[in-house]
Chains A and B, each alone.
Chain A
C-alpha cells in the first residue's frame, strides 16, 4: 500500500514517505489510490469554478505514480539513472481538459519538488525530466519560470480551467505565460484594477512572450 499511503499523507498534511526501493504497486494499492484520487477530486471541486472537466482516473493515477517515483529518485541517490525512463513513464494519453485537470491534482506539487532537486544537482537527469514534465503540463507549472511547449488551447477553451490558469498567472506574476490569448482574458479579469491585482503591470506595454 505504498502509493495509497503516500496519497493519503499528501492530501491530508502534505508530508509524504516513499519506499527505499522501487517496487511495483500492487493492484489493490492502485485501486485504493484511485478511490483516494476520486475523493480528493470531489473535495477540490468545492473551491473550484463551475464547469470543471470530469476526472480522468487513468491520468490522475499515472500522475500519482510519476510523482511518487520522482520523489524516490530525488531522495534515493543510489538509484540508477538509466532506470529513470522506465520508472518515470511519459504520458501517452490525450492531454485534453480532463487530463489536464486530473494531472494537476498531483502536479501542482511539481514546483517544490523541482526546486528541491535543482538545489541538490541542477544538471541531474531527473531535473531535466521534471522540467520537461512541467513544460508539458502548463496549468500545473505556472510560476516555475518554465516555458510551456504545448498548446494551451485546451485550458483556455475550458472556462473553469481558464479561470484557474489565470488566477495562478496573476498570483505568481508569471509574465512568460502571457500569450495573446492569455492577455485578452487577463484584461477581462482585471479590468480597471490592474494596479490592485498586479501592481506594476502595464498591459498595454507588454509584448508577447514566446
Chain B
C-alpha cells in the first residue's frame, strides 16, 4: 500500500521543503498536484501540507480515500518527477546596484589649518572708497560681484584690507576663513555646477554665484556700480 496526496497547484511552492525526502515524487494534473513515495513515517513537512485529498493506493494503483475501503478511482498515468526536478531551485535575483539619493546636510566646523584667503565679503561703500584711491596694481588681480542688497564679494589675491568676512577657496567653494567642511573629505562629494562659486556661511548654508557675475575690478566699473544694478 502507498500513500497518495493531492494538492492544489497554487501550493506548488510549499513542496520546496520536501526536496530532502528520498523517493518522493510529484506530478502535475491540471489544477492539481499529486504526490507519491511518501512512505509510512510521515515527515513533519508533509504533515503540514495543505492537502486537498488523501488516498491509499494498492498494488493495482486503485485509490482508496482515507478511512474508506472502497476505491473511488485509479491513479492516472502521470509524469512523475523527483521533487528536486518538479520544484527546481531558483537563485534569488540580486538587488540591482544603484545610487542612494539621500540628501546630506553640509556642515562646517572650525579648522586649525591655515589657508590663504581668496575672497572678501564687504559692503559697497567700503569697496568704492578703496577703489577710489587704490593703485591699479592692486586692483588688477581682483574681480567683484555685487548683490542687490549692496554686499560685495571680491575675489582674487591679494585682497584689500577692508572690513568684512574673508573666505578661502576649496576649488569652487568659498569657505569662511577658519572653517572647513565636516568632514573635509566631503569636498570630493560636493558637485558644484560649472562656472559657479558656492559661498558658504559658517552655519553650512550657501548661495550659488555664477562666475559671469564677477567683473574685473576696474576703477570705472566700481564707480558706476549702483545697488540694484547688475
- Show the binding face of A for B, using Cβ within 8 Å: 46-51, 159, 163, 166-167, 170-171, 189-193, 196-197
Q: Is the CB of B135 within 8 A of A47?
A: no
Q: A170: which of B137, B158, B219 is its contact (CB, 8 Å)?
A: B137
Cross-chain pair count, CB within 8 angstroms? 40
Q: Is B132 in the interface zone, CB < 8 Å from A?
A: yes
A193 to B224, CA, bound (A): 29
Q: Is the CB of A49 within 8 A of B158?
A: no
Q: A46: which of B133, B137, B223 is its contact (CB, 8 Å)?
A: B223
Q: A189: which of B137, B218, B220, B223 is its contact (CB, 8 Å)?
A: B137
Q: Is the CB of A49 within 8 A of B219?
A: yes
Main secondary structure of the interface of B (DSSP, over half): helix
| A167 proximity list for chain B (CB < 8 A) | 135-137
Q: B138: which of A48, A159, A189 is its contact (CB, 8 Å)?
A: A189
A46 to B218, CA, bound (A): 10
Q: Is the CB of B220 within 8 A of A47?
A: yes
Q: B219: which of A47, A192, A196, A197 is its contact (CB, 8 Å)?
A: A47
Closest A residue by C-beta to B129? A50
Closest B residue by C-beta to A160? B133
- Taking the closest CB of chain B, its distance from the CB of A108, in whole angstroms, is 14
A49 to B138, CA, bound (A): 12
Q: When each residue 150-162 of chain B gets 1 if its CB lies under 8 Å from chain A and 0 otherwise, what string results?
A: 0000000110000
- Taking the closest CB of chain B, its distance from the CB of A160, in whole angstroms, is 8
Known contacts A46-B219, A47-B218; decide if A189 and B135 are in contact (CB<8 Å).
Answer: yes
Closest B residue by C-beta to A162? B135
A98 to B220, CA, bound (A): 21
A48 to B131, CA, bound (A): 10
A171 to B218, CA, bound (A): 16
Q: Is the CB of A50 within 8 A of B133?
A: yes
Q: Which of B86-140 contact A (CB under 8 A)?
A: 132-138
Q: When each residue 187-230 of chain B gets 1 if its CB lies under 8 Å from chain A and 0 otherwise, what string results?
A: 00000000000000000000000000000001110011000000
3 tightest A-B CB contacts, nearest first: A50-B132, A46-B220, A167-B136
| A50 proximity list for chain B (CB < 8 A) | 132-133
Known contacts A191-B158, A193-B158, A196-B158; decide if A49 and B133 are in contact (CB<8 Å).
Answer: yes
- Taking the closest CB of chain B, its distance from the CB of A187, in whole angstroms, is 13
- Taking the closest CB of chain A, its distance from the CB of B209, in whole angstroms, is 25
